[in-house]
Structure 1
Amino acid sequence: MEFARTGWLEELPTILWAYRTTPRTATQETPFVLTYGAEAVIPAEIGVPSGRVQNFIARDNEEELRLNLDLLEARREEAAIRMAKYKRQIARHYNARVRPLSFKPGDLVLRKNSVSRLQGIGKLDPNWEGPYVVKEADRAGYCKLAHLGGEEVPRTWHNSNLRIFR
């Protein structure tokens, strides 16, 4: 049992090495490549003859490393482009089921209590407050709210912090 609590320290370098040399889905590159400009040779490749180790030529290695460093910035830019494309794909996937809310003047809405902080935000306190009446609404998703008596609420609120009152 004592080994289970202290054994992680010996495993940490192996885990960090694996993390640094595993290609990321978003960039299709390893963090090691994006930092140093060259692929790392994993310890298993040194003991077992592999193509990379067998075809290693020491005098050409220095020139190739310099070339990799010269091309590193371009490789990072390509990785950033791939990451942005990946993020757009993920956002499109998750936003496909989102129904946009649009409010019209006169709609009754509730407002998140955590945003206004007018009431406490303890465990048993309500999550929503209101109802409020929408006085104005714009296309960007912001609404001016009023109390049911007509008194305007001081700040403008975004749709993500509102819910239709039913």
Structure 2
Amino acid sequence: MNGMVEVVNKNIKKIIKKMTVNYKDWHEMLPFALLAYRTSIRSSTEATPYSLVYGMEAVLSAEVEIPSMRKRLTALCHGQCYQQRMAKAFNKKVRLREFSPGDLILWKVLHVALDSRGKFTYKYDGPFIVKEVFDGRAIILNYMDGNENALSVNADALKKYYP
């Protein structure tokens, strides 16, 4: 299975190493290590192996006796849901700037100019002409007189120029 069993065994071995004091008692910690592995969330599937097999989360015996632990886990889930909602709301407001060859743009000044005028210093250089746009939001610029700029620029440092 493409080494999947070896990866699982390696992870369980790491868990057992952290739990044992002496190498002779590893067999006593094996059930606890397996439980920890089966009930921990994997980042690749964002689910536990137990929930993938049985379709529901495992209820530990301690959770039955101590309901506050289940409440803490539920609160943790709500915290993750809150983070996802906040990220979705933030990403909804983000506007991607679309550039195409021939557009006039301004390039944000990221360095301190020698003739710095404090807050009255120019914030953008330009205008420039977009020569080529790549998939990774990299853009090659030309000067207005036709000379090509040697650097590719990230689109985050650009804005459209309207004469």
TM-score (norm 2): 0.47
TM-score after normalising by structure 1: 0.46
